[in-house]
Amino acid sequence: MDKIFFILFTLLLSTNLYAQDSDELCGYFKFCGSSSPSKNSVNTSTSSILNPSNLAKIKGLGLETLYQKNNPFGFSIVTGNGRVGAALISPTLENSFFGIRSLELDVDYYYRYLGKLRYKNKKINLATGVSLIQKKNFSLELGLSARRNPDIKKINPGIGISSQLAFLSFGAYVYKDDVKVNFNDYLSPNTGISYATTYGASTYQENYTVTTLNMGIQIKDLSLDVANLSTKYKFYNQKTNIFLYTGKFQDSCRLTF
């Protein structure tokens, strides 16, 4: 069984954090987990990929790395001061639990499944988020992203927005992306003809648009969220839709996590 080495290093940059009493600390950590699907359900690096505006409320500095034999090395660096945040992440989340389905040949997916391998992805994502409005019952954040695929060497922009109104939260993120596939000598399972013959080339690349929408509610310690990631590839006949449903009930504010 492959060994997974997971290193998580987080520094909370707050000069008065330990001077606060337990109620204030409880409020602080609830704030960091405010009602948004990505904020409640996944880690910071993942939330920034789902919507860069989520970075606006990040407070601190974090480094996360993931290494597994025969799989691509992953890292993320996240920082913020509570109003402005930024992240540098590689690889992105295509063909993972929280990511959009990327273009992948059936035979590549089959061998990857047999080998229990993650989707190989060399993309780098740079994102930033800024808080435009911060009030007791209303907040508004804006996020921008830039993705680069070294196989194509093009910068793809994205823009996201999120808002919280009382116990309701909403978010939307639209970004451009691209993918390049090597056909090798693979045959299409539908036609029995090689992909290279069908497309008249040994490789295929496509630029596409991804849309992420989310909505959530938070009533005291109960959070419920839903998100939809969608895109349409020319390579496939049907539109790709992924739905994420999450819930969290928090019943303790103790400082031991």
Whether 177 maps to a domain, the answer reads yes
DSSP letters, the chain, are: ---EEEEEEEE---TTGGGS-HHHHHHHHHHHT-S-HHHHHS-HHHHHHH-GGGGGG-EEEEEEEEEETTS--EEEEEEEESSEEEEEEES--TTSTTSPPPP--HHHHHHHHHTT-PPP---EEEEEEEEEEE-SSEEEEEEEEEEEETTTTEEEEEEEEEEEETTEEEEEEEEEEEEEEE-TTPBPTTTSSBHHHHHTSSEEEEEEEEEEEEEEEEETTEEEEEEEEEE--SSSSS-EEEEEEEEEE-----S--
Query: Of the candidates 132, 180, 135, 116, which has an alpha carbon nearest to the alpha carbon of residue 154?
Result: 180
Q: Per-residue pLDDT averaged across 182-201, rounded?
A: 91
Q: How many domains does the chain have?
A: 1
Whether 254 maps to a domain, the answer reads no
User: How far separated are the first and last CA of the chain, in Å rounded?
Assistant: 28
Q: Which range is least confidently modeled, 70-74, 139-143, 170-174, 236-240? A: 70-74
Q: Per-residue pLDDT averaged across 205-221, rounded?
A: 92
Q: Are 50 and 38 in contact (CB under 8 A)?
A: yes
Q: Is the peptide bond before 91 cis (omega within 30 degrees of 0)?
A: yes
pLDDT digits 0-9 by tens, 100-137: 888 999 899 999 989 888 888 889 999 999 999 999 89
- pLDDT given for residue 68 in this prediction: 84
pLDDT band at 67 (very low <50, low <70, confident <90, very high): confident
Q: Per-residue pLDDT averaged across 80-97, rounded?
A: 89
- pLDDT given for residue 229 in this prediction: 93
Structural domain including 89 reads 4-249
> What's the mean pLDDT when you consider all of the chain?
81
Better-predicted residue by pLDDT, 71 or 39: 71
Retrieve residue 175's tokens.
Answer: 């970004």
Question: Is residue 87 scored above 70 in pLDDT?
Answer: yes
Q: Which amino acid is at 27?
A: G
Better-predicted residue by pLDDT, 39 or 240: 240
Whether 256 maps to a domain, the answer reads no
Whether 79 maps to a domain, the answer reads yes
Q: Please compute, for residue 123, the number of CA atoms within 13 A of its CA located in the half-sphere on the CB side.
A: 25
Whether 117 maps to a domain, the answer reads yes
Chain mean position to CA 113: 22
**Of the ranges 31-40, 65-74, 109-118, 143-152, the best mean pLDDT one:** 143-152
- pLDDT given for residue 53 in this prediction: 95
Whether 174 maps to a domain, the answer reads yes
pLDDT band at 254 (very low <50, low <70, confident <90, very high): low
Whether 255 maps to a domain, the answer reads no
pLDDT digits 0-9 by tens, 151-173: 999 999 999 999 999 999 999 99
Whether 120 maps to a domain, the answer reads yes
